[in-house]
Structure 1
Amino acid sequence: MAQPYTKTQISLHWLIFLFIALQYLGHEAIAQAWEKLSRGEAIPFDPLVLGHVFLGGLIFLMVLMRIAARLRHGAPALPEEEPAAMRMLAQLTHLGLYVLMIAMPVSGAVAWFFRNEAAGEAHEVMRVLLLALVLLHVVGALYHQFVLKTNVMARMKRPGGEA
């Protein structure tokens, strides 16, 4: 059986979640700057734009750290009573989240720093996909907590996953 999540894994999970939420909340500033940039207009300094670029890079680094921690320490097994289809959906959701959390900062950086329209369009599509997967992840956790009563949410509260 895999080990419980470590304090580092739990901290990275919640920090990445917080930073991604901030990226969505601050999206309008970067979207407006991108439109100006696409039209060849000058972009005045905006701390929200700088923050978006900075947080994107930080999320990228933190996701790499999280992957390294997962490879080193593993992850708790899914509840045995969970149907195979739900286990597969959970695994695919997690894989999709990791892929998007890496691909989004890369596509954003390529779009922003190299003025690449295709990367910008891909970034925008991934923004919608990431939001959908985050919502699926949250719904899955709530379903486990309140319907299946497996208490999987406790695993991301403290190391060892005890409530």
Structure 2
Amino acid sequence: MKAAVRPERYTNLQLLLHWLVAALVAFQYLFNEGIMASWHFYAHGDAATPEDFSGANLHVLVGLTVLLLAIVRLAVRISHGTPAAPEGEPRPLRILATATHHLLYLLIFLVPLSGAMAWFFVIERAATGHNLTKALLLAVVLLHIAGALVQAVVFRSNVFSRMLPSRR
């Protein structure tokens, strides 16, 4: 059940989960050569090197970890709540921020699920869905970062600082 009173900032667990998922998602984008080469082996019969298989296994493991952490993140978000939007935030910006967060959560589930379906069941459509959702995830992550920077620089709100560990 959602907390009745909205917290002033995110909990340490929420911060840890946010930054851990962010780091793992970045890792997935930066180091995906092994899975791409191995996918061709599985789907098209091309040869893959042992290094590619190792890279593919790591990619799959990290993807499943992201999915597990996303489940935990959502449960913690529901049970602990989230801070309110900054005072005086324009309504269109608040709507965009809410939509962006909802889309981020949806994509953080869809990307690893579609990847797992493609990998474990060799489903071409799931691979296509995985490629589309990972491209959309990247775009939404960039929008999310831009929004945080606008909050910090233009509106001088505490949105960015409340995503960092407390200095108490």
Q: Which of 136, 139, 143 is residue 132 of structure 1 equivalent to?
A: 139
Aligned mates of 2:32, 2:47 — CA distance in 1: 19
Shift of 1:38: 1.5
- How does 1:6-85 map onto structure 2 within 5 Å? 6-45=11-50, 46-85=53-92
Aligned residue type for 1:155: R
**Paired residue for 2:98?**
91
**Paired residue for 1:2?**
6
Shift of 1:158: 2.2
What secondary structure, in the 3-state scheme, does the structure 1 residue paired with 2:46 have? coil
Aligned structure 1 segments of 4 or more residues deviating by more than 6 angstroms: none
C-alpha contact (below 8 Å) 2:152/2:158 kept by paired residues: yes
User: Gaps spanning 5+ residues in structure 1: where?
Assistant: none
- Please give the per-residue CA displacement for 1:36-81, whole angstroms capped at 9, x wherever unaligned: 2221235443322111000000000001101000000000011121
Which range is displaced more, 136-145 or 24-33? 24-33
C-alpha contact (below 8 Å) 2:37/2:48 kept by paired residues: no
C-alpha contact (below 8 Å) 2:86/2:158 kept by paired residues: no
Aligned residue type for 2:77: R
User: Gaps spanning 5+ residues in structure 2: where?
Assistant: none
Shift of 1:151: 2.3
Same amino acid, percent of matched pairs: 41
- Higher RCO (CA 8 Å, separation ≥ 6 residues): 1
The two structures have a TM-score, normalised by structure 2, of: 0.91
Query: RMSD between aligned alpha carbons?
Result: 1.5
Q: Which of 140, 144, 154 is residue 147 of structure 1 equivalent to?
A: 154
**Paired residue for 1:112?**
119
Number of aligned residue pairs: 161
